[in-house]
Amino acid sequence: MFVLAINGSPRIGGNTDLLLEETLRGARSRGARTEKIVLNSLSYSPCQECERDNYDSPCIVQDDMHLIYARVRDADAIVLGSPTFFGSLSAQTKMMVDRFQCAWFSKNKRGRDFFSREKNCAFIAVQASQKQEYFAGARTVVRNLCATINGVYRDELFCPGLDEKGSSLKHPEFMQRAFDLGERITTVNS
Ligand SMILES: Cc1cc2nc3c(=O)[nH]c(=O)nc-3n(C[C@H](O)[C@H](O)[C@H](O)COP(=O)(O)O)c2cc1C
């Protein structure tokens, strides 16, 4: 089983990063092979809304998104992590999500599925405030992405009250829940 983590935070060693690492540790404890993509280290543009008629590859824009497409195609499970930025996903994360529009178009308008392999998906989000509605808004976007890539939205971990870099380490309950999520994502398949 291949578990892919996608980190939408710009902070290496930040709260999202630490929680995702713990999640992958949980997945590895169940024998999974794991990989983490840090979106902020990649070079990719926002969706150009080309709406071309005949998709034969995920996207005509040639940039690092194609690394992500390849990994998403191979993954048995995906854990997406993002901090809340201005009540939503980070720009890095949303920009990646939008670049799956080609897959949405192909799947829903052409009946061709680039990401046909079913995969378990989970969403981890962190933020400073306690406002649950921010998480709910971000969840809707992530659910839409999952529907586009044949991901089954199975799990989530929302961690409010985290602001300073590394503050998730002061919340062992969040770290434990991240580890547990990593274990679960490898086993839940129905
Ligand atoms: C640009 C920016 C926007 C933010 N917007 C919000 C927000 O709307 N609500 C909130 O609770 N926290 C907000 N925060 C705080 C981050 O969500 C918080 O510091 C989080 O723990 C960062 O996670 P990270 O360490 O994984 O990057 C914002 C931080 C930044 C840098």
Q: Tell me, what's the pLDDT at 50?
A: 84
Our count of domains for the chain comes to 1
From CA 23, how far away is CA 17, in angstroms rounded? 10
The CATH number that applies at residue 116 is: 3.40.50.360
Q: What is the position in ligand 1's atom list of the atom closest to the CA of 88?
A: 8
Q: Whose CA is nearest to atom 17 of ligand 1?
A: 127
Q: Tell me, what's the pLDDT at 68?
A: 98
Per-residue pLDDT of the chain (190 residues; tens, 9 = 90+): 999 999 999 999 999 999 999 999 999 999 999 999 999 999 999 999 887 665 566 798 999 999 999 999 999 999 999 999 999 999 999 999 999 999 998 888 888 888 989 999 999 999 999 999 999 999 999 999 999 999 999 999 999 999 999 999 999 999 999 999 999 999 865 4
Task: Give 84 Cα–ligand 1 centroid separation in angstroms.
Answer: 5
Cβ of 171 below 6 Å from ligand 1: no
CA-closest candidate to residue 122, choices 73, 65, 184, 71 = 184
Flag whether the pTM goes above 0.95: yes
Cβ of 93 below 6 Å from ligand 1: no
Q: Tell me, what's the pLDDT at 190?
A: 44
Task: Give 97 Cα–ligand 1 centroid separation in angstroms.
Answer: 19
How would you label 131-157 residue by residue, b for 16+ Cβ within 10 Å and e otherwise? eeebbeebbebbeebbebbbbbbbbbb
| Domain containing residue 173 | 2-187
